[in-house]
Amino acid sequence: MLAVSDAPFLPEHFQRQDEREDAAYYVAPRLMTHIDEAAIDAVRGLYAELLPEDGVILDMMSSWKSHFPEELPRERTVGLGMNEVEMRENEQLDDYVVHDVNAEPRLPFEDAEFDAGVMTVSVQYLTQPIPVFRELRRVLRPGAPFIVTFSNRIFPEKAVAIWLACNAEERSRLVGAYFHYAQGWDGITAKDRSPNMGVPTDPLYTVWARATATT
């Protein structure tokens, strides 16, 4: 449920064309990549720049591929997603949890458990983004980055209404607003990281911020 502090968002902003329970929608594994290889390379480059070495990383709304650069050493990587088969296939995960953040935004992790978090091309499906971003602040250590990436390829029936109504620039501002209204985030930054290869590719946009110290 949205609270007063979640303004300026309204419940209708997070309605979807398909309001079936996500557990039913995602029951069949989708072993596919949702952006092309050039955009995937851009994700890897971004993660190489921003993720700490030898960290404990949370891959939010994870699937069968995580796109971490192979050269980045990680102590442990934990996936949280909707489909066990997909995450079991993910060779970059050390552990995973099946959990529906739209049904229950509370994350099944301890406070300050992770050194960084990522959410790759999935933010458009969040129906309770402010509570989820608050929870991410809770489970990340102070100074830890949370990196959101998105493109223009989506399942429109499951994307929230406000996302479908926005263009790319507005979507970056929207994700920035999620950070802002969730509170507890510093240095909110938005970038266009689309590949520049001289040929058509999937675009890639990112918004990230760092968790503040708890009070």
- Which CATH number do you get for residue 30? 3.40.50.150
Residue 110 confidence (pLDDT): 98
Number of domains in the chain: 1
Q: 163-196: per-residue pLDDT in tens?
A: 999 999 999 999 999 999 999 999 999 999 999 8
Q: 32-43: per-residue pLDDT in tens?
A: 677 889 999 999
The pTM of the whole model exceeds 0.75: yes
Q: 116-169: per-residue pLDDT in tens?
A: 999 999 999 999 999 999 999 999 999 999 999 999 989 999 999 999 999 999
Give the residue among 40, 19, 173 at the shortest CA–CA distance from 163.
173
Residue 2 confidence (pLDDT): 44
Residue 83 confidence (pLDDT): 94
Domain range for 9: 4-211
Q: 72-108: per-residue pLDDT in tens?
A: 999 999 999 999 999 999 999 999 999 999 999 999 9
CA distances from 38 to 193, 196, 199 (A): 11, 9, 10
